[in-house]
Structure 1
Amino acid sequence: MSVAGAVVREDGRVLAIRRADNGTWEPPGGVLELTESVEDGVRREVFEETGIRVDVERLTGVYKNVTRGVVALVFRCHPESGTERVSDESTAVDWLTPEEVAERMAEVYAVRMLDALQVDVAPSIRTHDGRQWLGGQIPG
C-alpha cells in the first residue's frame, strides 16, 4: 500500500516533487513500512522527499491502479516546519497553484491533489489503469 501527502499551505498552494527516477511531478509519498501507521508513513515520506514536516489532517482519497494492483491513500496535510530541499528521490520541490498542478502533473496525480483541495466532501474512491481514470467524475 502506498500513501501520499497533499500538503496545502494557507495560500492554497500544494507541495509537489519532481521524481528523480522518472522526472514526473507528483505529490510526495511512497510505500508504507511494515510496522508503521498510515499517518506516520505519510509524515515520513513527505519529510524524506521534501524536508517539510506535516500534520496529517484527513483522508481525501483512495486510488487503485488496476494495472499494478497498488492502492494509494492520499491525505490532506498542512506544513508544520522545515525548509524545502531535494532528496535522493526528488530533483525539485515546489509549491504549486491548482492550475500548475493540472499543467505539470499527469492526470492520475493531478486528480489526487485536486480532490484534496475539496472542502467538506467525503474521500474520493477512484480507479485507474496508470494513465486514465476508469469511470467517475473528475474534479476541476
Structure 2
Amino acid sequence: MDDRGLSTVVEKLLSLSVVVLYITLLTTVLYGGSLPAYRGAVGAQLGERALAEATAEVERAVPPPGRAAAASRRVDIPATIDGAGYRIRANGTHLLLVHPDAEIGGTARPVLPDRVGNVTGEWDSGADTVVTVDGAQGNLTVRLGARG
C-alpha cells in the first residue's frame, strides 16, 4: 500500500487548521479585550466634546447687555454616544451629561454673566434642541428644551 499521496493532503489540512486557529485567536483577542476598551474611550471623548459644545452654545445664547432680553438659539448635539441615547440636564449652574454607560458623562459650568440667575431644562439626544434666554435685563433665565 502506497500512502505518499495522502501526506500532501494531511499537510494542507494541518496548515489550514493553523491558519483558522490563528484567525480565531486574533478575533477573540480583539473583540474580547482591545476593541471594547477602545470604544469606551472614544465614547467618553465624544461625551466630553458634546458637553463642551453644548456649554459653548449656552454661553453664546445670552444676549449682550442693553439688548433685548429674549433670545433663542438652535443647538446641534449628537443623536447617540457609543450607540445609546443620553440627556444633557441643567441643575441651576451646571450642565450634566447623563448616559447609560457610567464611564460616559460629565459636568460643565457655563461662564455666564452675573445677570443670568438660573439655568434650567433638559435636552434629549436625537431631539431638535434649542436654548432660550428670557427675563428682565437684571435677572435672565436660560432654558434648555426642544424646539416646538
Q: Which has the higher strand share?
A: 1
Q: How does the TM-score come out when normalised to structure 2? A: 0.23
Structure whose alpha-carbon radius of gyration is higher: 2
